[in-house]
Amino acid sequence: MNILSIVGLSALVYVLAAIALWVYRNFVHDSKLTGKDTYAVVTGATAGVGEGYAEELASRKFNLVLVSRSQSKLDELASRLGEYFTCF
């Protein structure tokens, strides 16, 4: 193995380690932003992406402020989230 092979291999290992660390920090590691004092406002909470965000944040024990145009859909979502996740 010549010196250029060693340098190239070292650079490759460095880049792969940096990518692995980024993936861990952004997708694997649990956020410290949970608990009774953490709030989130979710707009459009009764459908699509907003509903998904509301479900995920509820599973992480966030206190939620849900915003929607439809009161009936909002009540339905709140009761569904209350069934699956602890409400105080």
pTM of the model as a whole:
0.56
* CATH code of the region 32-88: 3.40.50.720
> 81 — alpha (psi -120 to 50), left (phi > 0) or beta?
alpha
- Alpha helices by DSSP H, listed for the chain, are 3-23, 48-59, 71-84
The number of residues in the chain equals: 88
Which tens digit of pLDDT belongs to each residue from 6-34?
889 999 999 999 999 988 877 776 666 66
Per-residue model confidence (pLDDT) at position 61: 80
User: What's the whole-number average pLDDT of the chain?
Assistant: 83
Which tens digit of pLDDT belongs to each residue from 41-76?
888 888 888 888 888 888 888 888 888 888 999 898
